[in-house]
Structure 1
Amino acid sequence: MEEKHMQSVLIALLRQDHVQLWTEPFISDQQKIRELAQKYVSATEFSLEEVIFTLESIRADTSRKDEGNKQFKETAVASLELHLPRTAENNRSRVHLKTKLDITAQELKKQISEEYGFTHFNLILSGKKLALGRRLDEQNVKNNSKMMVLKVSSQQEKSEMLEEEEKKRRQDEGVQRTQKGFQILSERDGSEDPVSTPFLEIADQKGNPLQIPDSERKALILAMGFHEKGRALLKKRNHSAALCHLLQADEQFNKCNSALLKTVDNYAVLQLDVVWCFQALQQLDCLNDARQRLERAEECFKRCYGEQQSRLQQIKGHTGGEDVLFLRLYLLQSLLAYHDGKKNQAFNKLRNVEELLGQLCLDPEKMLQLMTLGFSEQEARLGLRACRGDVEAAERLISQRKKEKKELKEREREKRRCRLQDINTLVELGFSKRDAARALHQTRGDVDKAYTVLLDGAEAQSSDGQTKLDQCEMMLMLMMLCVFIHDSNVVCVCAASAWSRLDEDLVNEVLEDIPRHEEDYLDLTLDEEKELLLQIRSSLEKQSSSPPDRS
């Protein structure tokens, strides 16, 4: 980390001064490098020897990359930077290897073994071990990629190979099961038996159903389903599996209406979660992608919440709960600033984090007061943060939420009772139960229109203008979309829904990962955030005695 930081600091200074080390006079005049190094010693905490060595390294790397890029463009032969383990025979820690990218990792391994004499080792790219049977380009290996050669014992290599294959198989299977389960639910539109068949629909934070075009609804359910599964894995600190699901969620969100993504904060929260996985897995090669994702998240929060969170205050009546999102945003921004060599910016963001942390760390006595009243730990934590530590206000807020949920459940039960009654009315007129339920769903519960649809044998569709109006109304009221489980306490009944046993298992499995509290995404214990804060602060304090940078 320190070597990369040193290089980042000097690269930032070179760019600031518009210095190009790969041009004259630096190519032929060593004294010019030394003079430049002496200038930068006073602006950094590094010694003269360290600065000279790093400048030479930057110059050599740039020249090599230029040549390598030209060669790759002409011949498709890539240059890889290998970080080798030091041995008695080989004292080099970094070498460059030329290779095609359409070969397998096993073939590359054989080439490295022949050139450098290593027998048992793994190839690590961005914190992940390369799968031996897959091609390099399929595993994101590119020209100028940096790769670690990690020595292992013969038995360890065999064990790790088997373990990795099993882990990959389970991970792929997990993603596939999640996708299949939510696909089944996304295709359930409430037209099946309204009493025995659970289905999902998009709702606002209070559980009120929203009218969304069918194609977009399916993509949203898949996106939010993958996100919830990823978040469940994040809580278990299984960051590798979480990242797989979160990237799938990102892919599905990008199929949705761009105006929708800019208006709700789900997409912004997802970007934070992806970057959180990057840092947890120490995927420093993903810094550029991480930077772009944090920019998108910050822009989305500003649009959703308004200036000084004014829109959020107007809709929800409080803003304290969302501070955990900004704490994580500032923390990740501080980490990226540090790696970019922008020490002042990193310190400033860290101060924002520490200020928010002071507000979000709750008094145990206040937590106990609320839990003694019968509220859960999650309810108490979310309530206190939303009300910024005011116990009485938190008690009122939690009680109001419980009342609203109870009323919603009663309305939903009545809605289903009426729906079943309407279905039976149409069945008595000679239509099948399934066709009657589907027609009612298409006409939003209007029995007369459903009867007309069934008679005509056509599907009623809303006009484009009405659809756009519905979307506009939805966007004005939304802050965070929720996947709402209808009658979540109902077990899937195969006889009533004609589902296969596999469908039933998959559906029950994915429903377990959908949180019952609409603000579960705000319920962070902040333990991981405190750990990362201490790491960044420690790295920055090592440089605290040096002159400030010019970032």
Structure 2
Amino acid sequence: MDSDLKTEGIRIQIREKLNEERVKLWQSPYCTEDGVTCEEEMQILVKNYSSSLGISADSCLASLLELQRHALDRLRERDRFRETGLATIRVRVTDKNHSRRIISLETKLSATVQEVQEEVASQVGVGFDRIKLILSGKVLKMNTELHTHGIQNGTHIMAVILHSNPKELQAVESRHRRMEATLADAKLLASKSNVNNDYYLQVADQSGKTLNLPQEEREALVIAMSLHETGRLALKKEDYALALVLLLEADKEFSRCKSDLLQSVDNYALLNLDIAWCYLCLRSVSDIPDAEQRLRKCEMNFHQSYGPNLERLLALKGTTGNEAALFMRLHLLQAVVLFHQNKRQEASTLLARADSELSSLKVDDYSLSTLMELGYTAAEARFGLRAAHGNLSAAVLYITKQREDKVKAKKEEEAETQLNRERRKLGRCADGFQWVEPKLHKLLISMGFSSEAARLALQQSNNNVSHSVQLIQEQPSLLNMASTSKFRVKKEVLQQVVAVGFDPRMAKIALQHHGGDVEKAVDELVMCGGIIDGEHCTDGKHCFLLHLVINLSFES
């Protein structure tokens, strides 16, 4: 067992015992007023605790003295804060080798986060731009003051050193700034819905059902998932510091979404699991409370999405192999949290469960290499063997079906994209919400109606086929009016017809009838006496004089 972990385990047990018996090591009889240890009384404690807890006397004494020293230090720091206003904060630094170092700093609580970063950076010998401070699952912004984050005298903060060089970090941040700009440009596409109110950017739940989300929530979710994916790539490279920073930024984006949305998809549960995993890899004991809370959320979401025993997932996908690995990680992390809470029996039970789950997830190396020789990727082979419980033939069938499903899904997506293009080309219905449905348009054409008549009829009837047929057969003039009313007449063209002496409204309608052709519009107005059937002039006197002029011109 790692010596640091063993020492921490002993300290946890002794601290729990002291709390149970309400023993105060900083007071008499264990300590004098001058802060000197009373060895005789301390030896009595050592004898009792080493016997009851089953630990060596030397280890017990070392932990008791360490806990006593910490208590006395906190008392001195409290008095100093009252007298001077200088708070003592402890910054736990984790470097690229995952070794830890505690730095105690005295500072005003009005100091900025950047000032603390600079002090930490000077002590560890790196640029302050490579230091990120984290408290209670939040990355602290450099230009904010300490007290705004609830930091008090004695607060513990985690500092991670990004061992990627600053240029690489800037490149990551730059990519996400560009991503946000790209998403802003995508707003027009995202806001264009079809008859089913689908969006260009789609988000689906576990069953594949599309979630209709407000624009702001959808964009926040896409940004969060992108940050999460980048963080997971850092996790695979064992760059836990960078991974934690990116994952916490993703968590901030997820917080912009409603809670019911976060419960509908498992992305947020996976994010909480990954953040807790980072805490474990960075050995961040002070973040155990945040890890516990995140794991609780993760478990609730998993049970809701997959079922307590994965029965919902089994009914949906027919297998639980890959998601079972997530439960194994969850149970392992929960066991670690319980260990640090000195709940050893519960921790042991969960560790045994995680070990059993891990054993069931292991795949045979020979079977894995056999599938890879058949042309499958390592990931496909591993997932297939897990889903088929190690059966080679069943694994091949599973992988083949997965590939076929992907091809089918891609074809369906392409078909839906093409359908959306056709809908936009045919235009919106009169209700302003629906698009003209291409299938119904083709149906009317197959019945012998022209393409344009079918389109206009479906627009006016809001995709009602029987009403569309009735409009075409009984009220074709309404379709003509609907068609012409959408043509935009230029002001200068309208003025040319009005200058001849026609009413402005009649002139506009005539121009719409003839697509802006002035000569044809004037001919129609002359032929109908300046009044188009079914329309009324805006100036009755003007039309009467116009009729008189036209009639006289014909008589002469």
Asked whether the two chains share a fold, i.e. TM above 0.5, the reply is yes
The 1-side partners of 2:132 and 2:190 are apart by: 42
TM-score under structure 2 length normalisation: 0.62
- Tell me how far 1:272 sits from its aligned partner: 0.8
Residues 256 and 451 from structure 1, CA distance in 2 versus in 1: closer, same or farther, beyond 3 angstroms? farther
The 2-side partners of 1:406 and 1:83 are apart by: 50
Residues 443 and 295 from structure 1, CA distance in 2 versus in 1: closer, same or farther, beyond 3 angstroms? same
What residue in structure 1 maps to residue 266 of structure 2?
265
- Tell me how far 1:266 sits from its aligned partner: 1.8
What residue in structure 2 maps to residue 4 of structure 1?
8
The number of residues matched between the two structures is 417
Post-superposition CA distance 1:106-156 (Å, at most 9, x none): 97799999xxxxx9754899x95779x97883998753256899xxxxxxx
Match for residue 137 of structure 1 among 133, 143, 146: 146
Which structure: larger Rg? Answer: 2
Amino acid at match of 1:34: Q
What residue in structure 1 maps to residue 423 of structure 2?
422
- Tell me how far 1:316 sits from its aligned partner: 1.9
Residues 320 and 97 from structure 1, CA distance in 2 versus in 1: closer, same or farther, beyond 3 angstroms? closer
The 1-side partners of 2:316 and 2:120 are apart by: 60
Post-superposition CA distance 1:296-342 (Å, at most 9, x none): 21222222222322222222222222111122112223333444444
Is residue 2:230 matched to residue 1:229? Answer: yes
The 1-side partners of 2:247 and 2:8 are apart by: 28
The 1-side partners of 2:254 and 2:158 are apart by: 34
Post-superposition CA distance 1:394-425 (Å, at most 9, x none): 22322223222222222222223332223222
Is residue 2:345 matched to residue 1:363? Answer: no
Greater Cα shift, 383-392 or 163-172:
163-172
Does the Cα contact within 8 Å between 2:113 and 2:146 map onto a contact in 1?
no
Give the SS at the match of 1:201: coil
Does the Cα contact within 8 Å between 1:79 and 1:98 map onto a contact in 2?
yes
- Tell me how far 1:185 sits from its aligned partner: 4.5
Post-superposition CA distance 1:254-303 (Å, at most 9, x none): 22221232243221111111112222333333222112211221222222
Does the Cα contact within 8 Å between 1:105 and 1:134 map onto a contact in 2?
yes
- Tell me how far 1:75 sits from its aligned partner: 6.0
What residue in structure 2 maps to residue 486 of structure 1?
none
Amino acid at match of 2:372: M
RMSD between aligned residues = 4.6
Is residue 2:127 matched to residue 1:98? Answer: no
Amino acid at match of 1:99: T
What residue in structure 2 maps to residue 311 of structure 1?
312
Does the Cα contact within 8 Å between 2:266 and 2:302 map onto a contact in 1?
yes
Does the Cα contact within 8 Å between 2:334 and 2:350 map onto a contact in 1?
yes
- Tell me how far 1:9 sits from its aligned partner: 2.1
The 1-side partners of 2:86 and 2:204 are apart by: 52
Write the mapping of 1:278-293 to structure 2, written as runs, cut at 5 A.
278-293=279-294
- Tell me how far 1:206 sits from its aligned partner: 7.1
Does the Cα contact within 8 Å between 1:178 and 1:229 map onto a contact in 2?
no
Does the Cα contact within 8 Å between 1:233 and 1:239 map onto a contact in 2?
yes
Amino acid at match of 2:245: C
Give the SS at the match of 2:418: helix
The 2-side partners of 1:82 and 1:217 are apart by: 37
Does the Cα contact within 8 Å between 2:91 and 2:156 map onto a contact in 1?
yes
Write the mapping of 1:197-212 to structure 2, written as runs, cut at 5 A.
199-204=200-205, 209-212=210-213
The 2-side partners of 1:176 and 1:299 are apart by: 33
Give the SS at the match of 1:292: helix
Write the mapping of 1:180-259 to structure 2, written as runs, cut at 5 A.
180-185=181-186, 188-189=189-190, 191=192, 199-204=200-205, 209-259=210-260
The 2-side partners of 1:138 and 1:128 are apart by: 19
What residue in structure 2 maps to residue 294 of structure 1?
295
What residue in structure 1 maps to residue 409 of structure 2?
408
Identity percentage of aligned residues: 28
Q: Name stretches of at least 5 consecutive residues in structure 1 with no aligned partner.
A: 85-92, 114-118, 150-159, 427-435, 456-551
With CA pairs under 8 Å and 6+ residues apart, which has the higher RCO, 1 or 2?
Answer: 1
Post-superposition CA distance 1:7-31 (Å, at most 9, x none): 2221122234444445555455764
Amino acid at match of 1:98: E
Does the Cα contact within 8 Å between 2:30 and 2:41 map onto a contact in 1?
yes
Write the mapping of 1:463-542 to structure 2, written as runs, cut at 5 A.
none
Match for residue 61 of structure 2 among 52, 58, 73: 52
Does the Cα contact within 8 Å between 1:81 and 1:94 map onto a contact in 2?
yes
The 1-side partners of 2:123 and 2:434 are apart by: 66
- Tell me how far 1:453 sits from its aligned partner: 13
The 1-side partners of 2:252 and 2:117 are apart by: 32
Does the Cα contact within 8 Å between 2:295 and 2:334 map onto a contact in 1?
yes
Amino acid at match of 2:146: D
What residue in structure 2 maps to residue 13 of structure 1?
17
TM-score under structure 1 length normalisation: 0.62
The 1-side partners of 2:407 and 2:256 are apart by: 34
Post-superposition CA distance 1:497-522 (Å, at most 9, x none): xxxxxxxxxxxxxxxxxxxxxxxxxx
The 2-side partners of 1:380 and 1:106 are apart by: 48
Residues 108 and 290 from structure 1, CA distance in 2 versus in 1: closer, same or farther, beyond 3 angstroms? closer
Residues 76 and 297 from structure 1, CA distance in 2 versus in 1: closer, same or farther, beyond 3 angstroms? farther
Give the SS at the match of 2:290: helix
Does the Cα contact within 8 Å between 1:171 and 1:241 map onto a contact in 2?
no
Does the Cα contact within 8 Å between 1:175 and 1:245 map onto a contact in 2?
no
Amino acid at match of 2:52: A
The 1-side partners of 2:157 and 2:221 are apart by: 37
Does the Cα contact within 8 Å between 2:273 and 2:298 map onto a contact in 1?
yes
Does the Cα contact within 8 Å between 2:385 and 2:391 map onto a contact in 1?
yes
